Amino acid sequence: YREIRLILGDQLNSNHSWFKEVSTDVLYVLAELKQESTYVKHHIQKICAFFAGMRAFAAQLEAQGQHVLYVKINDLRSENSFANLLVELAREKSAEIIRYQLPDEYRLDAELAELHQQSSFKIIADDTEHFLTSRTDFKNFFAGKKQFLMERFYRNMREKHRFLMDGSAPEGGKWNFDHDNRKKYKNEVPIPKPQNFANDVTAIYEEIQQAQLPHFGTIDASKLIWPITRSQALGVLKHFCEALLPYFGTYEDAMHGDDPFLFHSRLSFAMNAKLLSPTEVIEASISAYRSNDKISIAQIEGFVRQIAGWREYVRGLYWKEMPNYAQLNHLENQNPLPEFYWTGNTKMNCLRKSISQSLSLAYAHHIQRLMVIGNFSLLTQLHPDAVDAWYLGIYIDAIEWVELPNTRGMSQWADGGIIATKPYVSSGSYINKMSDYCGKCAYNVKERVGENACPFNALYWNFLDEKQAFFKDNQRMSMMLALLKKIPAAELAEIKLRAAAVIANPDRF
Ligand code: FAD
Ligand code: SF4
């Protein structure tokens, strides 16, 4: 072979220009390396989904006539690093060129960049041809700015890519329809059945056991529900556009004890593995909006904002701020994770539901991640390293470039406000407003103190009190801090005692 080309597990983009030609000079390499499965403990469904996706992708390339070398998790070569594996193979096959697509993760980028130091082979790094922005667009867009407002970035993306534009104005007359969206779900409309698959990953599951990879969470290996091929991913996209998009925005922030998915697209794994491109997802959803009267501008705008806005925004921020970002702990939080994060075993219904579904499905939607689990983690002052490792392990879509800014930044405010101007913290009242959790909980969401009081309430006021020095110059926190000041000293003392009890032993609650 003249050329060795690496395809990483999250680079399953069959439309990449690499594959336009079938060449017998090129050996494609996909590898299930131990290092990728052990740097953090992953959910078993996540490991199975990535391996199954990679194996299906390799089989598809072979069917097209490409030459593929596939390293399985129990092969000897799986002990290698990517860089060593590539050099080893290039030597064995007498190749002249080693080629890879730019990884989205800083750690792998650094590892592969080292290849450029050696002189035996020509090393070429290509774009993944997936994102709407390059690694540096964000940095250039905000050059010289102190604040990186997502709204500015998003509007620029809309203009640049002509998404939902009416000449130079946004379609529908405004850029943001958040105000019309984000309602509580009260069974007004039935929730469509999710598009689940029954991928049999039993063989992969057994190989993972044999390799003794650490993992957690549950799986029915005969029926993995996540899409692992492009055609399955296209099926999820079609289902979303037809059945879910008409209510996507309306119930975007709603939570419901009986339904883990509501109207969410569940496209994150397929997009993050690059089975689908953001452009095609946006184009398909806009075309559904144009042909279906039931889809209002508020629904489609809410969806496009997530993908052209948030998804590209966090990626740009990641590349601008790494590697420092992964170390930040602005609020100096130090507590360990409660045990119930690994079991779902807690009396707090919102957490029990959100964590249990994360363990059984490798999925929770945005508001569960942010305002239930993330909120509790921040209010109990958990160490961001522990919170990060948990989020990076548990979710089917968790890859560092997207997980880290969301978790450490948006949710734990460990970056001191780079991504979010104020921390996403709330008492139980927000959770009650957006869900049916509180009605079925052992605790009373209206009470602040006493054995039956919702723990979020005491934790919230305690957090503001303990951390107020960090927020003294933050305009957006002034109302919360003014309310804190109005709490009589004796009541605040009681609140703080209750919060201290939760923080000291969260597993008792
Ligand atoms: P939908 O609600 O249907 O949204 C559509 C798409 O928009 C998603 O598939 C996703 O690609 C994109 N999107 C929406 N919000 C965001 C966001 N904040 N950042 C980036 N993309 C977004 N998303 C991940 O893909 N991987 C992660 O590891 C991850 N970790 C998160 C951790 C925390 C603490 C929080 C608050 C959010 C995290 N998110 C992450 C963002 C978001 O929660 C998930 O993308 C979403 O829940 C995936 O489900 P869905 O495909 O049904 O999303
Ligand atoms: Fe969660 Fe508090 Fe509501 Fe219970 S009462 S579900 S702990 S917010």
Residue 398 alpha carbon, nearest atom of ligand 1: 28
* pLDDT value at residue 261: 97
pLDDT single digits (tens) 418-453 = 999 999 999 999 999 999 999 999 999 999 999 999
pLDDT confidence of 456, banded at 50, 70, 90? very high
Class of domain 3-126: alpha beta
Residue 373 Cα to ligand 1 middle (Å): 14
- Kindly report the CATH number that applies to the domain delimited by 137-199+225-321: 1.25.40.80
ipTM of the complex, rounded to two decimals: 0.99
> How far, in Å, is the centroid of ligand 2 from the Cα of 351?
8
Are 413 and 374 a contacting pair, CB within 8 Å?
A: no
372 lines ligand 2 (CB under 6 A): no
* Ligand in nearest proximity to the CA of 406: 1
CA of 428 to the centre of ligand 2 (A): 6
Q: What per-residue confidence (pLDDT) applies to 223?
A: 97
Beta-bridge partners for 101: 126
Q: What is the pTM of this model?
A: 0.97
Model pLDDT for residues 110-128, shown as the tens digit of each residue: 999 999 988 799 999 999 9
Q: For a ligand 1 pocket test, name from 10, 279, 406 the mutation site with the most ligand atoms within 8 angstroms of its C-beta.
A: 406
Fold of 339-508: DNA Cyclobutane Dipyrimidine Photolyase, subunit A; domain 3 (1.10.579)
| Residue of 351, 376, 441 to mutate, ligand 2, most atoms within 8 A of C-beta | 441
Omega of the bond leading into 455 within 30 degrees of 0 (cis): no
pLDDT digits (tens, 9 = 90+) for 197-242: 999 999 999 999 999 999 999 999 999 999 999 999 999 999 999 9
The string of pLDDT tens digits covering residues 166-196 is 999 999 999 999 888 889 999 999 999 999 9
The response to whether residue 456 sits with its C-beta less than 6 Å from ligand 2 reads yes
Residue 142 — very low, low, confident or very high, per pLDDT cuts 50/70/90?
very high
For residue 37, is pLDDT > 90? no
Is 38 a residue whose pLDDT tops 90?
no
- Residue 410 CB–ligand 1 contact under 6 Å: yes
Of ligand 1's atoms, which has the minimum distance to the CA of residue 315? 20
Ligand 2 within 6 A of CB of 430: no
Q: Does 495 sit in the ligand 1 pocket, CB within 6 Å?
A: no
pLDDT of res. 179: 86
pLDDT by residue (tens digit) across 331-375?
A: 999 999 999 999 999 999 999 999 999 999 999 999 999 999 999
pLDDT at 251: 96
Best residue among 445, 448, 502 to mutate for probing ligand 2's pocket (most ligand atoms within 8 Å of CB) is: 445
From the CA of 194, the nearest ligand is 1
- Residue 266: CB within 6 Å of ligand 1? yes
Please report which helix (H) or strand (E) contains residue 282, including its range.
helix 278-291
Is residue 507 over pLDDT 90?
yes
Asked whether the beta carbons of 246 and 200 are under 8 A apart, the reply is no
pLDDT surpassing 90 at residue 490 = yes
Residue spans of the domains in the chain: they are 3-126, 137-199+225-321, 339-508
| Backbone torsions φ then ψ of 36, nearest 5 degrees | -75, -25
Nearest atom (ligand 1) to Cα of 303: 5
Which of 256, 379, 456 to mutate to test ligand 2, by most ligand atoms within 8 A of the CB atom?
A: 456
Would you state the structure tokens that stand for residue 459, as one six-digit string? 């934790």
Output the CA 181–ligand 2 centroid distance in Å: 23
Q: Where are the alpha helices (H) located in 327-471, listed in sequence order?
A: 349-361, 366-367, 375-379, 384-394, 400-404, 428-434, 455-467
Q: What is the 3-state secondary structure (H, E, C) of 419-456?
A: CCCCCCCCCHHHHHHHECCHHHCCCECCCCCCCCECHH
DSSP reduced 3-state for 333: coil
450: how many CB neighbours lie within 10 A of its CB? 11
Q: Which atom from ligand 2 is nearest to the alpha carbon of 456? A: 2
- Rounded-to-integer distance, Cα 298 and Cα 250, Å: 8
- Kindly report the average pLDDT of the chain as a whole number: 97
pLDDT tens, position by position, 146-164: 889 999 999 999 999 999 9
Question: pLDDT of 259-304, one tens digit each?
Answer: 999 999 999 999 999 999 999 999 999 999 999 999 999 999 999 9
Q: Using one digit for the tens of pLDDT, what is the confidence trace for 390-409?
A: 999 999 999 999 999 999 99
* Burial (CB count within 10 angstroms: exposed 0-12, middle 13-18, buried 19+), residue 385: middle
User: Which one, of 3, 89, 78, 64, lies nearest residue 34 by Cα?
Assistant: 78
Taking 90 as the threshold, does the pLDDT of residue 26 lie above it? Answer: yes
- Ligand 1 neighbourhood includes 237 CB (under 6 angstroms): no
The gap between the terminal CA atoms of the chain, to the nearest Å, is 61
Largest CA distance in the chain: 78
Nearest to 102 by CA among 169, 11, 34: 11
pLDDT (tens digit, 9 = 90+) per residue, 53-100?
999 999 999 999 999 999 999 999 999 999 999 999 999 999 999 999
